[in-house]
């Protein structure tokens, strides 16, 4: 295609937010990518402004990073807000008093089938960079949801997926990233140009217990491990400890790029030499709203972003010789079942990729799945409540199966390896890392369950 051809196409599709919003029809199912790939408030708010004209719109938001207008109560008659992953105050506000009713169970890997076959979106609004000299925009460091979500997929039964309307918000402040990140402007139906700053969240403030948990996790790591880890207080501390450790030749095969990646590389700890998937590179599917990573990933050939059906495919993950998943939890029962989505009927996050990586670590020859959490919390009256429990809270959704968990780490130590242990033995190991003031109560509860006979 001649340069003038794509420029003509682009200019023909270039419009205002209000005009793009008029492409939405009654009964449409609308989606956006995850995190930084989401548009600014400009286009979603223009669609929200049509609340008195439209009816029965479902909008699927995952990890919403901005206070979109439609999240306000007066828009709920027109816009049904659902989510496959909550995790931010903006989207969690939509679940107040609703339990987990509007939650749509999906892992990152299973999203390919869901969005290209069962629940094909009608409209997608995504952040992109300005087009390059060949007419390709960059979808940036946010490839977690499959490209099939944006452009469809060719299969043996024909072409499936792809939206009726694909709106690209062209932002010159967005981050061009390397990997499977380029899309031609011909895939889009509308473009809206809007220069806007990217959201950046403050780093979590670590506490003493976070330091203890991080030290225990790092003690379980080995040279040549491929690591999957996210962001937060504990991952941040783990990153720092790794940077000052004597570990060698680590690799990154992860969903979310950790904040420590630049320092690991600078110190020569992160080489990726022994990775199976694209050795020598850092492999991820997205970054969080972490300003320190924005410049690091920009056009960085050492960091490649790939979609969820690759990065979260258990069979791909399992080909890594030493795959280590490091993930959080809300509750763990005495068998080792992990509730990481809900506290009882209260929605907190989503399946995300934890179960994908748990299965992948199980397939990995020397893989390990590490669950990290504080041993307890406090209720509204300040009373200690154990997060290691005899039974998961009624209504809790299991995020990771007991048979896929190798270690549970709290501030009180390490339970594991759990693989091969009986339920009695698992309960004993887990009670030992519970809060000391609650261990006697947990032991009694275990006996009431018929354990420790």
CB 295 within 8 A of CB 287: no
Cα–Cα distance for residue pair 228/215, rounded to 1 Å:
17
Name the strand (E) or helix (H) holding 284: strand 282-284
For tokens 């270039």, name the residue. 14
Give the model's pLDDT for residue 266.
93
Cβ neighbours around 114 below 10 Å, total:
18
- Cis link prior to 417 (omega < 30° from 0)? yes
Give the model's pLDDT for residue 1.
47
Reported as half-sphere exposure (CB side, CA atoms, 13 A), residue 389 has a value of 21
Token duo for residue 24: 């939405």
**How buried is residue 134: exposed, middle or buried, by Cβ count under 10 Å (0-12/13-18/19+)?**
exposed
Name the strand (E) or helix (H) holding 366: none
Give the model's pLDDT for residue 128.
97
Cβ neighbours around 292 below 10 Å, total:
14
Cα–Cα distance for residue pair 207/452, rounded to 1 Å:
35
Give the model's pLDDT for residue 156.
76
Contacts of 176 (CB under 8 A, 6+ apart): 129, 138, 140, 298, 299
According to DSSP, the residues that pair with 63 across neighbouring strands are none
* Predicted TM-score of the model (pTM): 0.94
State the Cα angle at 401 between 395 and 406, rounded to 5°. Answer: 135
Which one, of 387, 393, 400, lies nearest residue 350 by Cα?
400
Angle between helix axes 208-219 and 233-243 (nearest 10 degrees) is 50
Give the model's pLDDT for residue 19.
98
Token duo for residue 108: 């990152």
Cα–Cα distance for residue pair 353/108, rounded to 1 Å:
5
Strand pairing of 136-138 and 182-184? Answer: antiparallel
What domains lie within the chain, and their CATH numbers?
A: 3-193 (3.40.1080.10), 208-448 (3.40.1080.20)
Cα–Cα distance for residue pair 70/26, rounded to 1 Å:
16
Say how many Å lie between the first and final Cα of the chain, rounded: 75
Cα–Cα distance for residue pair 426/430, rounded to 1 Å:
6
CB 124 within 8 A of CB 167: yes
For tokens 């506490």, name the residue. 207
**How buried is residue 96: exposed, middle or buried, by Cβ count under 10 Å (0-12/13-18/19+)?**
exposed
Cβ neighbours around 195 below 10 Å, total:
11
Token duo for residue 73: 């109560």
Q: Point out the residues of the chain with pLDDT beneath 50.
A: 1
Q: At 263, is the secondary structure helix, strand, or coil?
A: helix
Give the model's pLDDT for residue 89.
83
User: pLDDT of 159-185, one tens digit each?
Assistant: 667 899 999 999 999 999 999 999 999
Catalytic residues: 255
According to DSSP, the residues that pair with 284 across neighbouring strands are 305
Which one, of 406, 412, 453, lies nearest residue 431 by Cα?
412
Strand pairing of 323-328 and 136-138? Answer: unpaired
The 8-class DSSP code of residue 258 comes to: P
Q: At 413, is the secondary structure helix, strand, or coil?
A: strand
Cα–Cα distance for residue pair 435/377, rounded to 1 Å:
10
Strand pairing of 123-128 and 29-31? Answer: parallel
User: pLDDT of 207-242, one tens digit each?
Assistant: 899 999 999 999 999 999 999 997 777 888 998 899
According to DSSP, the residues that pair with 345 across neighbouring strands are none
Cβ neighbours around 294 below 10 Å, total:
17
Give the model's pLDDT for residue 2.
53
DSSP track, 140-165? -SB--S-HHHHH-EEETTEEE---SE
Cβ burial 216-228 (10 Å sphere, 16+ → b, else e):
bbbebbeebbbbb
Cβ neighbours around 62 below 10 Å, total:
26
User: pLDDT of 82-123, one tens digit each?
Assistant: 998 888 888 888 887 778 888 888 899 988 777 777 788 999
């Amino acid at each position: 295609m001649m340069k003038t051809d794509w420029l003509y196409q682009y200019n023909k599709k270039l419009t205002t937010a209000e005009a793009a919003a008029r492409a939405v029809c009654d009964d449409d199912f609308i989606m956006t990518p995850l995190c930084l790939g989401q548009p600014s408030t400009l286009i979603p708010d223009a669609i929200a402004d049509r609340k008195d004209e439209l009816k029965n719109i479902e909008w699927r938001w995952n990890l919403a990073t901005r206070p979109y207008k439609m999240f306000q109560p007066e828009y709920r008659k027109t816009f049904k807000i659902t989510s496959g992953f909550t995790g931010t105050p903006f989207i969690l506000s939509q679940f107040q008093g609703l339990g987990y009713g509007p939650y749509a169970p999906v892992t990152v890997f299973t999203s390919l089938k869901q969005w290209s076959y069962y629940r094909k979106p009608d409209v997608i609004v995504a952040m992109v960079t300005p087009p390059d000299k060949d007419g390709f925009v960059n979808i940036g460091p946010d490839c977690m949801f499959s490209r099939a979500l944006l452009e469809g997929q060719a299969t043996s039964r024909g072409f499936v997926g792809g939206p009726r309307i694909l709106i690209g918000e062209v932002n010159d402040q967005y981050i061009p990233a390397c990997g499977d990140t380029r899309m031609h402007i011909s895939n889009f139906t509308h473009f809206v140009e809007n220069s806007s700053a990217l959201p950046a969240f403050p780093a979590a403030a670590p506490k003493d217990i976070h330091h203890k948990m991080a030290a225990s996790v790092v003690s379980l790591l080995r040279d040549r491990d491929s690591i999957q880890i996210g962001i937060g207080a504990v991952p941040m501390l783990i990153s720092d400890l790794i940077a000052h450790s004597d570990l060698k030749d680590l690799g990154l095969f992860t969903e979310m790029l950790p904040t420590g990646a630049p320092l690991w590389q600078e110190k020569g700890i992160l080489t990726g030499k022994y990775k199976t998937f694209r050795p020598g590179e850092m492999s991820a599917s997205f970054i969080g709203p972490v300003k320190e990573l924005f410049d690091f990933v920009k056009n960085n050939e050492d960091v490649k972003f790939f979609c969820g059906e690759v990065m979260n495919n258990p069979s791909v993950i399992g080909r890594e010789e030493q795959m280590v998943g490091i993930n959080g939890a809300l509750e763990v029962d005495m068998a080792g079942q992990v509730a990481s989505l809900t506290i009882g009927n209260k929605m907190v996050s989503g399946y995300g990729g934890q179960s994908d990586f748990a299965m992948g670590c199980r397939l990995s020859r020397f893989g390990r799945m590490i669950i990290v959490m504080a041993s307890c919390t406090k209720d509204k009256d300040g009373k200690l409540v154990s997060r290691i429990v005899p039974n998961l809270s009624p209504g809790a959704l299991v995020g990771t199966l007991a048979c896929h968990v190798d270690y549970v780490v709290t501030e009180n130590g390490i339970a594991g390896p759990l693989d091969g242990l009986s339920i009695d033995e698992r309960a004993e190991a887990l009670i030992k890392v519970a809060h000391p003031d609650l261990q006697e109560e947990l032991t009694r509860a275990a006996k009431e369950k018929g354990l420790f006979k």
